[in-house]
Amino acid sequence: MKTANEKETNQWDIRIGELDQYLFGQGTHYDIYKKLGAHPAVIDGKKGVHFAVWAPHAAKVYLTGDFCEWIETPDYEMKRLEPLGIYELFVEGMQVGDLYKYLICTHDGRRLYKADPFGNHAELRPGTASKVADIFNLEWNDESWEEKRRQQDLDTMPMSIYEVHPGSWMKHAPTDENPEGFYNYREFAERITDYVKDMGYTHVELMGIAEHPFDGSWGYQVTGYYAPTSRYGTPEDFAYMVDYFHQNGIGVILDWVPAHFPKDACGLAEFDGQPLFEYADPRKGDHPDWGTKVFDFGKNEVRNFLIANALFWVEHFHIDGLRVDAVASMLYLDYGRSAGQWVPNKYGENKNLEAIEFFRHLNSIVQKRNPGAMMIAEESTAWPQVTGAPEEGGLGFSMKWNMGWMHDFLDYMKLDPYFRSYNHNKMTFSMTYAFSERFILVLSHDEVVHLKCSMINKMPGLYDDKFANLRAGYAYMFAHPGKKLLFMGQEFAQFQEWSEARELDWYLLGEAKHSQLKEYVKTLLHLYKEDPAMYTLDHSWEGFEWINADDFSRSIFSFIRHSADRKSNLLFVISFTPVERKEYRVGVPQSGSYKLILNGDETRFGGNGHEVPATLKAVKGDCDGQPYYLEYDLPPYGVTVFKYAERKPEERKSTETKAAERKGVEHKAAASGATERKGAEHKTAASGAAGRKGAEHKDTAFGTHTKKTK
């Protein structure tokens, strides 16, 4: 192999120029990943690979790998560029797939072997080297999807997310070449796409995509921010997967972890011998809960590293959204820390002002450059305006996970039905803040691990009761305002907690209850996606109307979801007790017919088959503060959904006037008929009485007695 240095070519300034350094130093070089890292290139007619790494505290930096037996070699010493301390080198003859690391020589004599922070591919663990990749010749066929995304309105579109860990959704039988049985990105996409489409999900959210050394971290301790994990294939394979999803109408969201990174020797921690990517002060730079390092959000180059990384996934790999992990840990300086273990900001507060500014910058630039791209916050506190506009004091996220709803919902669902009446507000409280942010309702992987139990095993009661409870709970989730997220395996009631080490318990679909619950969730997903009442007014009180939020004694909730044009309106009645409610009445706003579109107790869903009429006529009479009501038998743990078209006020008035007129005519006719009948009956009775009296008088006069008969 041959190397080139600045004396041999005049093109180095073109590769890493003054403008590149200036923008990176300002934190605004949004395409820096195209310059830093390892990229195949042709310089002076010579084919090879250009390497560049930021290591300002290093005394020297060498490129090392198989090509030099992983030792410090003068031919592979990298050239330092000032003022930022970027090192670069062009190596002729290196190819895609070659392994490499940076050998960082510190001023105190240490030798650190580091993977490339901007590397696009990595050696399969337990190896930790970077791999040369060419990510600039990917094939894409999703232009129509990309255009659709640019035009979409997140507020008024349906969004149901299937959260998936690719390594454990489904596995091959283990082999010597593939002991974990991982699916390649390509075959994973082809296998899961039909399932996702059939179920009715709109998006997949993929866990553990950025390169990480430890499977048990689920991808939340990242060492390769710019590299799709090699567990499932190459960057080309990853691009194929995203493209395949898009061609089949499925959006792709990735977990993204800008909060912290692990201390692995090959990674970002003390990258050039000193704190570089992390805060130098351990009271800010060390995360006590997770044993990791915290990014220095006050350093321009670090912010640039992260913002460019978000753009890398969205722009280069066509990702539709990023779910930003552990936002609260970034916002609060005292997160997970006791008194004396954290440093207040300049105002003496616990807010991380640098992280706040980072989020505003990040979200503004991602969404400005990529209309329709989603930035989703996993934020577990009541921090205000997470989805508010940055210019109005918000953080600028597109959406936020509704962790408050999730905790209250699960607390309620775990209760024995006997105690639910005393905890009724756990299910209604979320509506007091439902429209303060743009929320996603989540039942994520975090809720089915660490002895928390799977969703089905959280439910009280015996076997059948558990399924009935879960049907009621899922109905409430899908009917509640907000986008939806459900973790894999919970759609068919997997009993085991999730583990990254094994595939889902697909064999359960051979058992009736599990396949029936899957059919039920599928029905809910399609109802959600296909009926505009379920999503077009998801962020406004105009789309939601309580009928009875206070029926705590019976643990029943009733409400209406409205579409924006009011042509579709869905009345939900959901019971959380095993009691059948005979002749149950629920108030409705208008007269007319109400069509049953879902009965959760149908046998095809695993229910007991209690029948509810296909159509109900509203009856005049006050109920639940409404002028009409429906009456029917509500099944145990009943879920009933009725659809009706809302009439305009003048139409309702006209209909009600006509009904009143008909009633008046009927009353008049009935009164007239009654009078006539009464007169005739009186005349007949009088005539009959006179006749009988005359006959009796005659018989008596002749000395005989007449026997009375009926």
CATH number at residue 638: 2.60.40.1180
pLDDT of residue 10 exceeding 90, the answer is no
Same domain, 88 and 232: no
Whole-prediction pTM: 0.89
Q: Is residue 464 part of a domain?
A: no
Pairing of strands 86-92, 79-81: antiparallel
Query: Of residues 654 and 620, which shows the higher confidence score?
Result: 620
| Longest Cα separation, the chain | 154
* Averaged pLDDT for residues 666-690: 44
Confidence class for position 646, pLDDT limits 50, 70, 90: confident
Same domain, 680 and 598: no
Same domain, 19 and 109: yes
Query: What is the Cβ-side half-sphere exposure of residue 525, based on CA atoms within 13 angstroms?
Result: 22
Confidence class for position 707, pLDDT limits 50, 70, 90: very low
Radius of gyration, alpha carbons of the chain: 35
Q: Is residue 510 part of a domain?
A: no
Question: Which of 401, 429, 456 is the last residue in one of the domains?
Answer: 401
Structural domains in the chain (count): 4
Same domain, 108 and 215: no
Q: Is residue 646 part of a domain?
A: yes
Confidence class for position 654, pLDDT limits 50, 70, 90: low
Distance, in Å, from the CA atom of 9 to the CA atom of 66, rounded to the nearest integer, reads 26
Distance, in Å, from the CA atom of 397 to the CA atom of 387, rounded to the nearest integer, reads 4
Distance, in Å, from the CA atom of 606 to the CA atom of 601, rounded to the nearest integer, reads 7
Give the three-state DSSP class for 315.
Answer: helix
Q: What is the dihedral angle through the alpha carbons of 449, 455, 456, 461, rounded to the nearest 10 degrees?
A: 100
Angle of helix 300-311 relative to helix 18-26, nearest 10 degrees?
A: 100
Helix (H) or strand (E) holding 145: helix 143-151
Decide: residue 40, CB within 10 A, 0-12 exposed, 13-18 middle, 19+ buried. Answer: middle
Same domain, 571 and 680: no
In the 3-class helix/strand/coil scheme, how is 548-604 assigned residue by residue?
EEEECCCCEEEEEEECCCCCCEEEEEEECCCCCEEEEEEEECCCCEEEEEEECCCHH
Give the three-state DSSP class for 86.
Answer: strand
- For residue range 364-381, what is the model confidence (pLDDT) as tens digits? 999 999 999 999 999 999
Decide: residue 358, CB within 10 A, 0-12 exposed, 13-18 middle, 19+ buried. Answer: buried
Q: What is the DSSP string of 430-490?
A: GGGTTTSS-EEEEE-GGGGSTTS--HHHHS-SSHHHHHHHHHHHHHHHHHSSSEEEEETTT
Shortest CA distance to 268 belongs to which of 295, 289, 299?
295
Same domain, 83 and 195: no
pLDDT at 571: 99
**Beta-carbon count within 10 A of 444 CB:** 21
Q: Is residue 592 part of a domain?
A: yes
Distance, in Å, from the CA atom of 37 to the CA atom of 162, rounded to the nearest integer, reads 33
Query: What is the Cβ-side half-sphere exposure of residue 708, based on CA atoms within 13 angstroms?
Result: 2
Residue pair 322/310 in contact by the 8 Å Cβ criterion: yes
- For residue range 250-296, what is the model confidence (pLDDT) as tens digits? 999 999 999 999 999 999 999 999 999 999 999 999 999 999 999 99
Tokens standing for residue 487: 């973790």
Percent of the chain topping pLDDT 90: 88
- For residue range 506-540, what is the model confidence (pLDDT) as tens digits? 999 999 999 999 999 999 999 999 999 999 999 99
CATH number at residue 198: 3.20.20.80
Question: What are residue 31's phi and psi, to 5 degrees?
Answer: -110, 25
- For residue range 65-117, what is the model confidence (pLDDT) as tens digits? 999 999 999 999 999 999 999 999 999 999 999 999 999 999 999 999 999 99
Q: How many helices (H) and strands (E) does the chain have?
A: 17, 31
Whose structure tokens read 């930003």?
A: 324
Whose structure tokens read 């866990």?
A: 207
Residue 671: give the domain boundaries.
Answer: 666-710
Residue pair 635/643 in contact by the 8 Å Cβ criterion: no
Q: Is residue 484 part of a domain?
A: no
* Averaged pLDDT for residues 592-615: 98
The least confident of 132-141, 470-479, 545-554, 650-659 is: 650-659
Same domain, 28 and 162: no
Pairing of strands 639-644, 593-599: antiparallel
Tokens standing for residue 60: 């020297």
Q: Is residue 40 part of a domain?
A: yes
The least confident of 29-38, 335-344, 554-563, 684-693 is: 684-693
Vertex 463, ends 462 and 468: CA angle to 5°? Answer: 95
Same domain, 647 and 670: no
Query: What is the Cβ-side half-sphere exposure of residue 284, based on CA atoms within 13 angstroms?
Result: 21
411 is an active site residue: no
pLDDT at 5: 41
The residue from 98, 325, 354, 624 that is catalytic is 325
Question: Which of 401, 422, 449 is the last residue in one of the domains?
Answer: 401
Cis omega (within 30 of 0) on the bond before 126? Answer: yes
Same domain, 385 and 359: yes
Same domain, 323 and 392: yes
Angle of helix 235-247 relative to helix 185-199, nearest 10 degrees?
A: 20
pLDDT of residue 691 exceeding 90, the answer is no
Q: Is residue 286 part of a domain?
A: yes
Confidence class for position 650, pLDDT limits 50, 70, 90: low
pLDDT of residue 61 exceeding 70, the answer is yes
* Averaged pLDDT for residues 185-193: 98
Confidence class for position 647, pLDDT limits 50, 70, 90: confident
Distance, in Å, from the CA atom of 12 to the CA atom of 4, rounded to the nearest integer, reads 10
Residue pair 387/264 in contact by the 8 Å Cβ criterion: no
Question: Which of 401, 424, 447 is the last residue in one of the domains?
Answer: 401
Confidence class for position 692, pLDDT limits 50, 70, 90: very low
Distance, in Å, from the CA atom of 398 to the CA atom of 406, rounded to the nearest integer, reads 19
CATH number at residue 91: 2.60.40.10
* Mean pLDDT estimate for the chain: 92
The residue from 378, 437, 491, 646 that is catalytic is 378
Distance, in Å, from the CA atom of 548 to the CA atom of 458, rounded to the nearest integer, reads 27
Helix (H) or strand (E) holding 141: none
pLDDT of residue 701 exceeding 50, the answer is no
Q: Is residue 218 part of a domain?
A: yes
Shortest CA distance to 551 belongs to which of 589, 524, 581?
581
Same domain, 178 and 281: yes
Tokens standing for residue 298: 């006050």
511 is an active site residue: no
Shortest CA distance to 532 belongs to which of 148, 157, 196?
157
pLDDT of residue 667 exceeding 90, the answer is no
In the 3-class helix/strand/coil scheme, how is 317-355 assigned residue by residue?
CCCCEEEECCHHHHHECCCCCCCCCCCCCCCCCCECHHH
* Averaged pLDDT for residues 428-434: 98
Same domain, 672 and 638: no
- For residue range 531-557, what is the model confidence (pLDDT) as tens digits? 999 999 999 999 999 999 999 999 999
Confidence class for position 205, pLDDT limits 50, 70, 90: very high
Q: What is the DSSP letter of 648?
A: P
pLDDT at 685: 42
